[in-house]
Chains A and B, each alone.
Chain A
Amino acid sequence: MIEKYPPGAASFWRVMAIARRHAYVLQRSPHRLFDIVIWPVVDVVLFGSIGVFAARQATGTAAQVALYLLVGVVLWHVVYQAQIAVATGFLEETWSRSVLNLLTTPLREWEYLAGVALFGLVKLAAGVGAVALIAWLAYAFQITSLGLGFVPIAALLLVVGWAIALFVIGLVLRFGSGAEALAWGILFVVMPLSGVFYPVSALPGILRPIGQALPTTHAFSAGRALAAGQPMPWGELGVAALSTAVLVTLALAYLGWMLRIFRERGFVTRYS
Chain B
Amino acid sequence: MANPGSALRAIGLVKEYKRGRAVDGVDLTVAPGERVALLGPNGAGKTTTLLMCLGAVRPDAGTVEIFGHRLPGARTQALGHVGFVAGYLPLPQSVRVEEYLRMFGRLYGLRHPDRAAGEGLARFGIEHLARAMGTELSSGQKTLVGIVKAALHEPRLLVLDEPTASLDPDVALRVRTGLRELSRDHGTALLVTSHNMLEVERLTERVVFLSHGKVVADGPPAAIAERYGRGDLEQVFLHLAGVET
Give A contacts to B, CB under 8 Å: 2-5, 9-10, 13-14, 16-18, 20-21, 24-25, 27-29, 96-98, 100-108, 260, 263-266, 268-269, 272
Asked if B228 is at the interface of the complex by the 8 Å CB criterion, the answer is no
Assembly CA distance A127 to B89 (angstroms): 33
Partner of A4, one of B55, B60, B109: B109
Question: Does A266 lie within 8 Å of B57, measured CB to CB?
Answer: yes
Q: A17-B104, A100-B51, A266-B51 are in contact. List 20 more A-B contacts (CB 8 A).
A: A4-B110, A4-B153, A17-B107, A20-B103, A21-B99, A21-B103, A24-B94, A96-B94, A97-B89, A100-B89, A101-B149, A103-B54, A104-B82, A106-B77, A106-B107, A263-B55, A263-B56, A266-B48, A266-B57, A272-B86
Assembly CA distance A4 to B90 (angstroms): 27
Question: Does B94 lie within 8 Å of A98, measured CB to CB?
Answer: no
**Residues in chain A near residue B47, CB distance under 8 A:** 269
**Residues in chain B near residue A27, CB distance under 8 A:** 94
Contact A17/B103 with A96-B90, A272-B88 known, Cβ cut-off 8 Å: yes
**Residues in chain B near residue A104, CB distance under 8 A:** 54-56, 79, 82, 84, 159
Question: Does B111 lie within 8 Å of A5, measured CB to CB?
Answer: yes
Contact A98/B92 with A4-B153, A263-B56 known, Cβ cut-off 8 Å: yes
Asked if B21 is at the interface of the complex by the 8 Å CB criterion, the answer is no
A-B contact pairs, 16 of them (CB 8 A): A13-B106, A14-B107, A16-B106, A96-B92, A97-B90, A98-B92, A100-B56, A101-B84, A106-B75, A106-B107, A107-B107, A108-B76, A263-B55, A266-B15, A268-B51, A268-B57
Contact A105/B79 with A100-B86, A264-B58 known, Cβ cut-off 8 Å: yes
Question: Does A2 lie within 8 Å of B154, measured CB to CB?
Answer: yes
**Residues in chain A near residue B80, CB distance under 8 A:** 4, 106
Q: Mark B106-121, 1 if CB is under 8 A from A, else 0.
A: 1111111000100000
**Residues in chain A near residue B245, CB distance under 8 A:** none
Question: Does B79 lie within 8 Å of A17, measured CB to CB?
Answer: no
State how many angstroms separate the Cβ of B69 from the closest Cβ of chain A.
11
With CB as the reference atom, state the residue of chain B lying closest to A103. B56
Question: Does A4 lie within 8 Å of B95, measured CB to CB?
Answer: no
Question: Does A2 lie within 8 Å of B116, measured CB to CB?
Answer: yes
Assembly CA distance A196 to B112 (angstroms): 48
Contact A28/B95 with A101-B84, A108-B76, A268-B57 known, Cβ cut-off 8 Å: yes
Q: Which of chain B's residues 144-174 have a Cβ closer than 8 Å to chain A?
A: 149, 153-154, 159
Partner of A3, one of B55, B75, B110: B110
Q: Place the interface of chain B in its size category.
A: 35 or more
Q: Mark B52-95, 1 if CB is under 8 A from A, else 0.
A: 00111110100000000000100111011010101011101111
Question: Does A28 lie within 8 Å of B56, measured CB to CB?
Answer: no
State how many angstroms separate the Cβ of B157 from the closest Cβ of chain A.
11
Assembly CA distance A104 to B83 (angstroms): 8
Assembly CA distance A16 to B55 (angstroms): 23
Contact A13/B57 with A4-B153, A265-B17 known, Cβ cut-off 8 Å: no
State how many angstroms separate the Cβ of A118 from the closest Cβ of chain B.
14
With CB as the reference atom, state the residue of chain A lying closest to B149. A101
Assembly CA distance A15 to B173 (angstroms): 37
**Residues in chain A near residue B94, CB distance under 8 A:** 24-25, 27-29, 96
**Residues in chain A near residue B79, CB distance under 8 A:** 104-106
Partner of B111, one of A3, A14, A103, A266: A3
Question: Does B82 lie within 8 Å of A14, measured CB to CB?
Answer: no
State how many angstroms separate the Cβ of A167 from the closest Cβ of chain B.
22
**Residues in chain A near residue B57, CB distance under 8 A:** 263-264, 266, 268
**Residues in chain B near residue A13, CB distance under 8 A:** 106, 109
Contact A17/B110 with A2-B153, A98-B92 known, Cβ cut-off 8 Å: no
**Residues in chain B near residue A101, CB distance under 8 A:** 84, 89, 104, 149
With a 10 A CB-CB cut-off, give which of A98, A101, A105 has the most chain B CB atoms: A105
State how many angstroms separate the Cβ of A266 from the closest Cβ of chain B.
4
